[in-house]
Amino acid sequence: DVPAEPAPAAAPAAPAKEKEEEMEVTVLIDVNLGMKTSLRLTPGTSISAAKEMLAKADASGGTKVQEFGLRLPSSDKPLDDWYLIDKWTRELHYCSLAPPVEPANISGKWKMNPVKGGDAACFVLVHEQSGGNETLKGWQEGGIDIWDGHVYGDTVEWKVGGCQIKARLKDNRWRMVDVSAKMDQGWELGPFTGEWVCTVDEAVAAQQAQQQAEAGGVALGEDVEVTIFIDRSLDLSTSMTVKTGSTVWNIKERLAGDDPTGKTQPQDFGLKSTDGTELEDTVQITGAWELEIAMKT
């Protein structure tokens, strides 16, 4: 008999692939309200898969993956669905996919604050959008007109006097950063940061009120104390010294500027007299006064 051939030796088993450890990624749903959730993901998970996990976790079934995006905290733009989440990612932000109908209009009064301290400058910008072109006109407070103003995406620039100003727009065009002012002589001022203060109409009204006070019989320059009640029932109030001839709008600007969070804007509230009448922004201060905050509804 012919001896049977020995069975071939079994191939050595491939080493087991080491499983990637899961990591916790925080997803902020609403930054302002502090709403957030978390996902257990492995590095290399796609944004699409993460969105599906979020949609499935919604017990109401109202969350649809095609209706929202996820972005990194350092970016304003949603990540592509094919983007792979790496092991260093620990936070994502929920964001809308719907593009704005047109870029946000930046018309209004802007206050440029020096980063390293010093005097601020204010500009009233009129932003015109037509056929994809975005131009700026307006003036610097004090009466100097601006010219050759343009907005290109997140970049804005204009000229005033012998100076060219350039800046980057942030936060859906509500803020300017890296603001620089280059003089015709070649030297630069800055950097500054820019904050939107109020609408063009409100800026014009405040300016007209100031001009009327200067032209009228109100004696400018006399210091008077104005008390503002935030909540009269709690006897919660503040006070400030202002010049006679100042306007209600000037006081509102001062109050908003004293908010350390920077969230209070003068157009968000009104001031009323002791008889409950809400005062127009152009009303002038003629002496010591008591006022009360009137929130806009």
Looking at per-residue confidence, does 157 or 97 come out higher?
A: 157
Question: What values do phi and psi take at 94, rounded to 5?
Answer: -65, 140
- Average pLDDT estimate for 24-40: 84
Please report the domains of the chain, with CATH numbers, ordered by start residue. 23-96 (3.10.20.90), 108-202 (2.40.128), 222-295 (3.10.20.90)
Which string of b and e fits 239-273 if b means at least 16 CB within 10 Å?
A: eeebebbbbbbbbbbbbbeeeeeeeeebbeebbee
Looking at per-residue confidence, does 45 or 296 come out higher?
A: 45
Looking at per-residue confidence, does 281 or 31 come out higher?
A: 281
Q: pLDDT, tens digit, for every residue of 175-185?
A: 899 999 888 88
> 11: which DSSP letter?
P
pLDDT number for residue 144: 87
pLDDT number for residue 266: 81
* Candidate ranges 13-17, 53-57, 111-115, 123-127; pick with highest mean pLDDT: 123-127
Return d(Cα 127, Cα 109) in angstroms, integer: 11
Q: Is the dihedral of CA 63, 69, 73, 76 positive or negative?
A: negative
Task: pLDDT band for 149, please (50, 70, 90 cuts).
Answer: very high
Mean pLDDT value across the chain? 82
pLDDT number for residue 157: 94
For residue 150, is pLDDT > 90? yes
pLDDT number for residue 11: 55
Contact 125, 139 (CB under 8 A): no
Percentage of the chain surpassing pLDDT 90?
A: 22
Percentage of the chain surpassing pLDDT 70?
A: 85
Return d(Cα 198, Cα 212) in angstroms, integer: 20
Q: pLDDT, tens digit, for every residue of 111-140?
A: 888 888 778 889 999 999 887 788 999 999
3-state helix, strand, coil in the chain (%, to 5): 15, 40, 40
Q: pLDDT, tens digit, for every residue of 211-256?
A: 766 666 555 567 888 999 888 778 888 888 888 878 888 888 888 8
pLDDT number for residue 256: 81
pLDDT number for residue 125: 92
Return d(Cα 194, Cα 38) in angstroms, integer: 35
CA dihedral 200, 169, 142, 158 (to 10 degrees): -110
Looking at per-residue confidence, does 287 or 206 come out higher?
A: 287
- Average pLDDT estimate for 60-75: 84
271-278: long-range pairs with CB below 8 Å, 24+: 271/228
For residue 210, is pLDDT > 60? yes
